[in-house]
Structures are given as structure tokens and as C-alpha cells.
A and B are shown apart, each in its own frame.
Chain A
Amino acid sequence: MGIEGDLDAKPIFVTQGVVGAELQNIPFEQNSISTFNENEFRYEIPNVAKYYVANGEQVIVEPLCENWDEILLYFYSNCMAAILFQRNMIPFHVSGVFVDENKVLLFAAPSRTGKSTTALMLQQRGYAPFTDDTAVLSVENGLCYAQASYPMIRLWQSTIEKQTILSEVNKKPLWADAEIKKYGFHFHEQFISRKVQVMGIIFLEEVGAEIKIERLTPIQNIQLLMTNIYRRQWLNGMRKGKLQYSHLTAIVKAIPAYKATRPKDIATFEKFAETIEREIIKLIQYELSNQYGQSAFYPVG
């Protein structure tokens, strides 16, 4: 299969077979579940599957169970990340919404800090979804671009109950364990798989007693951006340190970054989204309208 929306992308050959116990070349890093070097990645989830990823184009899957949903869950998350790194592409842990027909604003945050919920609240305000969890970022001619991972929004049940645009009937359990109340919602009809321009990134944080937005310096941006690389812990063992540095410095030169904070454990998401819209999105749209020579309030979605 190829990467949808990018016809120049090399295909990935996925086969079912036997995964060897060792890599073909010397591993640079080993731990209980993964072994890897620059061009090979071996991953084993006990009682689920073994995976071998090589040269950014080959994946062998050896099932250890019959639950293909679970087998594919690790394939899409970990094998695809390994493929991207082997192709010198870097995925980031971000959600995002469209602020213009072809331009997006991204949100980055540690798990459970409200990346998905903030993006969802902005969707309720009319901004179409771009990605919920990850995107590959790249820079060309001084402009930053993002390519979304896959069209699924993943939400905790408590968030589903607080929103109005997704229907309970469309939710899909993400884990076999019914105790984990996190669900997926597909958005294939709105999904755009081509690269789109990134107009900014907002780092979300739960701290303090009020909602606050501040512009970050490029140094602050690079420090935060680095922590939001998807599977960052693999980069050193894959010898991608220089790649990471060149990517990060190029991205922070290309886009403005903000920190948006809101109080922890207080229901402020709607007001948070409204503040982000007023203080950041409208500014971006105003700047774009000056470029386009048309209305500041460009329709989205």
C-alpha cells in the first residue's frame, strides 16, 4: 500500500510471516520489547504479534493471536512510526484543525491534557478536523507543512458526553478491555491526506487559575516541540539525532508558537476554545485575509 494522497511516496510492502529473533545487522538499542538500528526495527508484544520493519519499505507481521484489531493497532502506531523514521520523516504528537481551506493550526500536549478535546471544541465552533493524534511535519522553502496520520478522533467517554457534534452510535471501542472507556470516531469524509500548511502550534498546559495565552520564543518552541516528537525515545538508537535537529530548527523558524494554559480539573474547555479562536485563529485569518485581499472570516469546514 502507498501513503494515501502522496503519489510520489514509495510503497510499503506488508507481509505475514516469521519474524527472526535477531536483526540482520548490529542493533544500536535493545529493550524488552524492541530492538533496532538505523534501518531495522523489531518489535514484539507478547501474545499479540511480532513485527519486523526494514529500510522504510518492508514490514513482516507474525501474529501471536487472532485479534487483528489489536495486531493492527500496534502496526499503525509503532510500525508506521518506524517506517517514517527510516524514511527520515518525523511524526509529532499533535492534534489540529483547519483555520482556512488549506491551512491548519496544531495543538501539542502530554496525554490527557486536552489535545483532542480542545480540537473538538473548536470543531463545534466550525473548524474542520485535521488530525487528532499525530502528523508528519516538514519544511519546504521556509514554510511548514503537516500531513495527517489517519481519520479518527479518539475521546474519553467523559468528553463524548460534553460535546454535541459526534453521535454516541458512531463510537468504536479502541481496546478489548471494556474498562478503558476511550473510543474512536472516524472522520473519513472530512479527511485531507495531502500536506497542508501549518500556521502555528499551540502547546497546551493545565496550570494556574485562569486561561492564558502567551507567544513563545523560538528557543521555548524548540524545547517544547522536541518533547512532542512521536516515539522520540527511538531517535537516538536509530541514529536520527542530526535529522531531529535540522527538522526542529527549521520548524521553529517557520511557524509561530504559543502556550495556552487553563486550570486543571475545571470545566473550561468551551471558554478555552473561544479564547484560542479570538486570540490566535482570528489573528491568523486576518493575516491571511490581507494576503488574499478578502474577508478576514474565511469559511472553513
Chain B
Amino acid sequence: MNYQINTDKVLFTQLGDEGVVYGIETNEYLTLNETYFKILQGVEQGKTQAEIVTQLCQEYDIAETDCQMEVVEALQKLAEKGYVSTLI
């Protein structure tokens, strides 16, 4: 499943190795750890879920199946908050 950022609902910025998300409608701030930030950045860059997993596996010492699970979970959480939505 591939995602896009809901730019009318969220702004996000890299701060050091982490990131911060701002919910425009909710006025809520959410800090992102390094992994979550890279996942959201991948979505912004138009990468598919599989491409994000591949990138993270290259950067971190993590098994592909574990990485896949983490990415799916992260994207679901971000989708629940309305920050990303599926392309289909």
C-alpha cells in the first residue's frame, strides 16, 4: 500500500536527526523519532512502501521483515491521525 502526505492537514520539518509534525486542523505537535521521520520523508519524496523499507534496511542493521512491520505500523499510525492517506 502506498501513501501520500495530506499537505492540507499537516506540515513537517526535520530537526536534527528527528522531525516535528504540525496538525494544521488540530493545532497539535507530534515529534517524530529518526525512523518515523525517514518514513514520512520517504512518503513526501513519493517513494513506495517497498522503497522506504529498502532504504531503511540499507541504512540500519535490521531484518527486512521487521523493517516491513515497523513501516506498516508507522504509516497506519500516521494515517489514523490523518497526516497521510493511501493513494488508492
Contact = CB atoms under 8 A, between A and B. Distances in A.
Interface of A: 217-219, 222-223, 226, 236, 241-242, 245-246, 249, 252-253
A-B interface, 9 closest residue pairs, ranked by CB to CB distance from nearest: A218-B15, A245-B22, A249-B13, A218-B16, A241-B27, A219-B31, A219-B18, A236-B27, A219-B15
Q: Is the interface of A mostly helix, strand, loop or mixed?
A: helix
Interface of B: 11, 13, 15-16, 18, 20, 22, 24, 27, 29, 31
Given A219-B31, A226-B29, A241 B24 contact: yes
B24 A242 contact: yes
Nearest to A240: B27
Given A219-B31, A236-B27, A241-B27, A252 B22 contact: no
A242 to B, nearest CB: 6
Contacts of A245: 11, 22, 29
Contacts of B18: 217-219
Given A217-B16, A245-B11, A252-B15, 14 more contacts: A217-B15, A218-B15, A218-B16, A218-B18, A219-B15, A219-B20, A222-B15, A223-B31, A236-B27, A241-B24, A242-B22, A242-B24, A245-B22, A249-B15
A249 B15 CA distance: 8
Q: Is the interface of B mostly helix, strand, loop or mixed?
A: strand
A217 B18 CA distance: 9
Contacts of B22: 241-242, 245
Given A242-B11, A245-B11, A222 B20 contact: yes
B84 to A, nearest CB: 18
A219 B27 contact: no
B20 A249 contact: yes
B11 A219 contact: no
A163 to B, nearest CB: 38
A38 to B, nearest CB: 14
Q: Which of A217, A218, A236 has the most CB of B within 10 A?
A: A218
A226 B30 CA distance: 13
A217 to B, nearest CB: 6
A201 to B, nearest CB: 15
29 contacts: A217-B15, A217-B16, A217-B18, A218-B15, A218-B18, A219-B15, A219-B16, A219-B18, A219-B20, A219-B31, A222-B15, A222-B20, A222-B29, A223-B31, A236-B27, A241-B22, A241-B24, A241-B27, A242-B22, A242-B24, A245-B11, A245-B22, A245-B29, A246-B11, A249-B13, A249-B15, A249-B20, A252-B15, A253-B15
Nearest to A241: B27
A273 B15 CA distance: 29
Nearest to B21: A245
